[in-house]
Structure 1
Amino acid sequence: MIVQVLFHQVTPHADITVYETDRLYGEKGHFRVLQFANADVQGALDLNNPERIVFEYPRAIIHLLEHHLGDLQHIFMIGQGIGTLSRYFADRHIQVAELNRTVAELSIEYFGCARDPLWIGDGRELLERQPDHQYDSVIVDAFDESGTPNQLVSLEFFTLVQHKLHEQGALIMNLIGRGTHDTRIHAIYTTICEVFPHVRCFQLPVEKNSDVRNIIMMGSQTLIQYQSRQLAGFTEEQPDYAYVIRDEY
């Protein structure tokens, strides 16, 4: 495998590397990758086919939102990464909040994202400043080196999101967890259920039940429907109920 490092920097929020490789998860090609220090790949661009969405979770998110909302127009997204979703929704009214300025700049320089929809800062604080009932969807795809930050999975945060969505709008989250062996995933699900009457959870199949995998959770005031064959391999799973996550004061 050939790897060429294009960028590496330790920032206050993450140890970040951008590199190119001729092999990604067993697939041969030419890929540009954003990776954090814990070896988690945050995003990948297929340089031979830049319009291709490489990973399954953004393809599943796109289907869930478009099937549920139809022609969604107003989106608020927390977490830019390489900008896969912000590029896909570039013809809509999308606002993206990214805490790490370096990640935002890399998404522009190395991954072809536009500068206009990007705000640098805390996504929750920026969302608080927006008018109520404005958005079709709030997308959360934000990670630090321990996972999704607590302030983005609390009861108070989900209540804030509910106020910013219109009556048919939807919250959708990309999470990382261990499925039925992950109490925190159960707690996030429980907390979303406190705010949204309709909640669905989808997971990528893994070899062992304890393996880490992508998990998508979606909450709405209205019934959530989808087509299984369009979920890029995700299947619906029902987490257990656990505790409610609250802000730490």
Structure 2
Amino acid sequence: MELLRRAEEPGFEVAVYETDELYGEKGRFRVLQFADGDVQGALDLNDPKRIVLEYPRAIVHLMEHNDPGFERAFIVGHGIGTIAGHFAGRDIRTAEISPTIAEWSRTFFGYAGPAAGIGDGRELLEREADGSLDYIVLDAFTEKGTPWHLFTREFWKLARRKLNESGTILLNVFGRGRRDSFVEAVWAGLSETFAHTRGFALPTDDPRDPTNRILVGAKRPIQGKLRRMAGFEPSEPEPGTVLEDVMFGYSDMRR
């Protein structure tokens, strides 16, 4: 693995590497990852248009399958620009907390779309017109952990207000396959706020092992073809306790 660039930002460290193997696949890959080794984006240098990681492939399929002609989406967590770049030519707005990552999406990963908004994703989403979005995609992680204020009852209400009459929010979340309090809290919030929900997960040998999940809340039924879901299978968490801003002092922070 060859280090191309490393940078420190408040609270986390991020780096770009090149490697000839990624998750057991041989080739030439450029990856964005945090200091703890978590890969946040990957580019196949031999086939730059290919979406390498499973979860963005599955999210893209759900977006294309359920609303092929959608016009406007808001992505919280720009990363290397995988999803925004795939939908070049549409009105895709993105939020990215890290100016370094936003810059590297262009210089190292070939993103050529509109500039990402730099700042807190929730605050930037609040600026969008009510009822203006076909999709919201939530893919926000930092090395410090989960940005909790993006998963509260108040955030779900905000997202519902910004979506149009048939809008959908899609989440990439990470947690244990069974009895994960965070995943269950997220599921409870989506189920409380949206008329239709779907859940998908990458299968694991042990249901207690951590895995990627895609959770969906929508104003209309949402469908998907499993053969296009990059290995994700239907999996709905148990409902937990809905998170609220007050639990994390979010309201006090904004005064």
TM tier, shorter chain?
over 0.9
Are residue 218 (structure 1) and residue 186 (structure 2) matched? no
CA distance in 1, matches of 2:101, 2:134: 25
Please say if residues 69 and 169 of structure 1, whose CA atoms lie closer than 8 Å, have aligned partners that are also in contact: no
Indicate which of 178, 181, 187 corresponds to 1:180.
178
Match of 1:118 in 2: 116
1:90 corresponding residue in structure 2: 88
Describe how 1:91-240 pairs up with structure 2 within 5 A. 91-114=89-112, 116-240=114-238
Query: In the alignment, which residue of structure 2 is the partner of 1:50?
Result: 48
Deviation at 1:228, TM superposition (A): 1.4
Deviations 1:136-175 (A, max 9, x none): 0010111012543111111100100000000101000111
Letter paired with 1:231 = M
CA distance in structure 2 between the aligned counterparts of 1:234 and 1:146, rounded to whole angstroms? 26
Secondary structure of 2:100 counterpart: helix
**Displacement, 1:40?**
0.6
Contact 2:99-2:118 at 8 Å conserved across structures: yes
Equivalent residues of 1:137, 1:165 under 8 A apart: yes
Deviations 1:57-115 (A, max 9, x none): 11110111111122111010110111110110111100111011111111111001126
Q: Distance in 1 between matches of 2:242 and 2:206?
A: 27
Q: Which runs of 5+ in 1 are unaligned?
A: none
| Distance in 2, Cα, partners of 1:192 & 1:38 | 29
The answer to whether the 8 A contact 1:181-1:209 is kept is: no
- Once the two structures are TM-superposed, the CA of residue 31 in structure 1 deviates from its matched residue by 0.4
Mapped to 2, the partners of 1:68 and 1:115 lie a distance apart of 23
Counting aligned pairs with the same residue, the percent is: 47
CA contact (8 A) 2:138 2:172 kept: yes
**2:41 paired with 1:39:** no
Which residue, out of 3, 24, 27, partners 1:26?
24
- How many residues align? The count is 247
CA distance in 1 between partners of 2:106 and 2:64 (Å): 26
- The alignment's TM-score, normalised by the length of structure 1, stands at 0.96
Corresponding residue of 2:253? none
CA distance, structure 1, for counterparts of residue 115 and residue 163 of structure 2: 19
Q: In structure 2, what is the Cα distance between the partners aligned to 1:148 and 1:198?
A: 24
Paired with 2:105 and 2:53, the residues of 1 have a C-alpha distance of 16
Spell out, residue by residue over 1:29-70, the C-alpha distance to the aligned partner (whole angstroms, 9 max, x if none): 110010101211111100011011101111110111111122
Amino acid of the structure 1 residue aligned with 2:202:
L
**Could you give the per-residue CA deviations for residues 193-233 of structure 1, whole angstroms, max 9, x where no partner exists?**
11101111100011221222110011011111111111111
Supply the distance in 2 between the matched residues of 1:221 and 1:41 (Cα, whole angstroms).
32
Distance 1:166 1:29 in 2: 41
Kindly state the Cα deviation for residue 184 of structure 1 after the two structures are TM-superposed: 0.9
Q: TM-score, normalising length from structure 2?
A: 0.94
